[in-house]
Structure 1
Amino acid sequence: MNVTFDDKQPIFQQVAEIIEDDILNGTFRVDEQILSMAQLSQMLQINPATVVKGIGLLVNEGILYKKRGLGMFVAADAKLIIQNKRKDRFYKELLSNLLIEADKLGLTTEDIFHMIKQLRGE
């Protein structure tokens, strides 16, 4: 796995998002064990403490759960939790910023819909 971290957010948050992406795309399924912290640390070439912090976020959000002595596993509602969290962030951050920029450019809602349809090839 070749991952490039950016400076826009802490690495531990990016680690959590990488695991979330793997859950969303089906790499990890419900009640399936994810890679160990040591494996993730080695694969991502980062400090194990950073991985622990990223996984801790996911545990706190109910996305992962720990089986004592076995490791971390994907929770039953993980995919739904991630989708809801990301939809909320999409709405609050991306769409809000898009509309602010659209207003600056004088774009109408119809203009935006047209651009989206063009990008989707509709």
Structure 2
Amino acid sequence: MAADMALVEWAKESLAPLGTISFRRMMGAGVLYCDGTVFAVVDAEAIYFKSDAESAPIWDSAGCPPFTFEGKDGETVATKFRRAPDDVYDDADAMRQWAALGVEAGLRAPAKKPKASRRAR
């Protein structure tokens, strides 16, 4: 499944006021970054914004399900990314409102430790 590039371009255009929006293909979909912070996943059908314990009640009350995929063992795995409400696809203000929740969750997430280089081992 590939990322919907028209949706990626719409997100970049709509979210420009939030910061520098960049995109990277990853695992058959794509990831959106705002000033280097991961805040969304885009697949062929939808955009999913990052959530966390603080923002989960907002996503739940809006009826936004998590992004899921089938794991290696055949079980469904739910992620911390939530499907965006339908209004983000044609309303730039709604896109910014919901994306801001994803950016905030991304900023609250603990920083990943850099991988040790082979030379350092």
Query: How high is the TM-score relative to the length of structure 1?
Result: 0.31
Larger radius of gyration: 1
Higher helix share: 1
Higher strand share: 2
